[in-house]
Amino acid sequence: MEILNREIEKKIQHDIIKPVLEKKYDLVIRNIPGIIDKLYANIPYNKRISYGRVYTIKVLSEYLYNRFIELDVQTFEVASNIFNKSDDFKSKGVSLGVLSFYGLNDFKKMLPYFESAVVSSNWDVRELSAILFRKLIKRFPNEMKEYLLQLVKSENANIRRFVGETLRPVRENQYF
């Protein structure tokens, strides 16, 4: 399903890419929720049960990651700044999504961001972290297995829950 159209791409260019190039991360954080809302509005009403906020965050974060690479933007710097400065689910989620794509080349740098998201007071951020982490499991099954085996020993219930959630759904997630 295609929810990203030319109009939204122009808005992304103006509201996110341009401020990123100017290092105006606070402006980017303020603008991300509006883009997510526009993407969500493009999901047909009868598909919103299957495709919702998480889908829009995945679409936007993948688009931004690819644009940042094309433009030779310091992707890690940008995404980590947005992650660290944002308080809302949508901006933090998009930045974590961009970081998850970056992690396909350097997963060790990403682990602290996932660990931070996992202990967030925001339930949506915790849930999204497990969903976005799955691509790292797929790419680095042996390394992630060892990592998750360490996390499952945590006294923090949210960290232990993260381990279980990253492995769902079992039918689709057979990397171990």
pLDDT, tens only, 118-132: 999 999 999 999 999
76 and 123 in a common domain: no
Q: Is 72 exposed, middle or buried (0-12, 13-18, 19+ CB in 10 A)?
A: exposed
pLDDT tens for each residue of the chain, 176 residues long: 799 999 999 999 999 999 999 999 999 999 999 999 999 999 998 888 878 889 999 999 999 999 999 999 999 999 999 999 999 999 999 999 999 999 999 999 999 999 999 999 999 999 999 999 999 999 999 999 999 999 999 999 999 999 999 988 766 666 66
pLDDT the model gives residue 46: 87
Contact (CB, 8 A) for 113 and 75: no
The share of the chain scoring above pLDDT 90, in percent, equals: 85
Provide the domain limits for residue 158. Answer: 107-176
Does the predicted model carry a pTM greater than 0.85? Answer: yes
Say which DSSP state 175 is in.
Answer: -
What are the residues whose beta carbons fall under 8 Å from the beta carbon of 172, sequence distance 6 or more? none
CATH number of the domain encompassing residue 154: 1.25.10
121 and 62 in a common domain: no
**How many angstroms separate the most distant Cα atoms in the chain?**
47
112 and 94 in a common domain: no
Q: In whole numbers, what is the pLDDT of the chain averaged over residues?
A: 94
Residue of 169, 113, 111 whose CA lies nearest to 144: 111
Structurally, how many domains does the chain consist of?
2
Distance of CA 115 to the CA centre of its chain: 13
Tell which of 68, 83, 102 closes a domain.
102
131 and 84 in a common domain: no
pLDDT the model gives residue 22: 97
91 and 112 in a common domain: no
